[in-house]
């Protein structure tokens, strides 16, 4: 596949998660909630967690932001749902490395869509957008 075709595919994956986000919404009861915002651009994310011991049994998000921020939140919720907090934090660490341009084994994520965000590392101002939901998820351990 050519570089142009791959870029087009990645844009399509990002737009699909932006237009049809997975796990978007709220829980009816009172789950653990974390809010974060990116003061640089105004992106804001609210994550809600249902924990079973140290397992992220379920999570949802709401918020406002750019396509990168909201698509990343959608992908993150899929990647960490059902994982232990330790496993989720490890995935967040891998995601941060990817945003810094380091090579990452995407099979470890268990969700290939995340690879579509790899190109964001070429645009430093957008890295904060892509990592916002991940940084919010990290707060569940605090």
Residue from 4, 34, 68 nearest 140 by CA: 34
Domain count, the chain: 1
Say if CB 117 and CB 127 are below 8 A apart: no
Please give the radius of gyration of the chain, using alpha carbons only, rounded to the nearest integer.
14
Q: CA-CA distance, 63 to 47, in Å (whole number)?
A: 9
pLDDT score, position 70: 97
pTM: 0.91
- Which residues of the chain are under the pLDDT cut of 50? none
pLDDT score, position 20: 97
Residue 106 burial by Cβ neighbours in a 10 Å radius (0-12, 13-18, 19+): middle
Which CATH number is 103's domain given? 3.90.1010.10
Q: 99-121, pLDDT tens digit by residue?
A: 999 988 777 666 678 889 988 99
Residue from 122, 132, 108 nearest 42 by CA: 132
Structural domain boundaries, residue 9: 3-141
């Amino acid at each position: 596949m050519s570089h142009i075709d791959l870029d087009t595919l990645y844009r399509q994956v990002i737009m699909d998660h932006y237009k049809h986000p997975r796990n978007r919404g709220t829980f009816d009861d009172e789950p653990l909630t974390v809010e974060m915002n990116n003061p640089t651009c105004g992106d804001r994310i609210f994550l809600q967690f249902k924990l079973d011991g140290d397992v992220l049994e379920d999570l949802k998000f709401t918020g406002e932001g750019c396509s990168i921020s909201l698509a990343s939140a959608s992908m993150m919720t899929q990647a960490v749902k059902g994982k232990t907090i330790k496993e989720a934090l490890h995935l967040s660490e891998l995601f941060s490395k990817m945003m810094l341009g380091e090579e990452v084994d995407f099979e470890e994520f268990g969700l290939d869509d995340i690879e579509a965000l790899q190109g964001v590392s070429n645009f430093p101002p957008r890295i904060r957008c892509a990592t916002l939901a991940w940084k919010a998820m990290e707060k569940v351990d605090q």
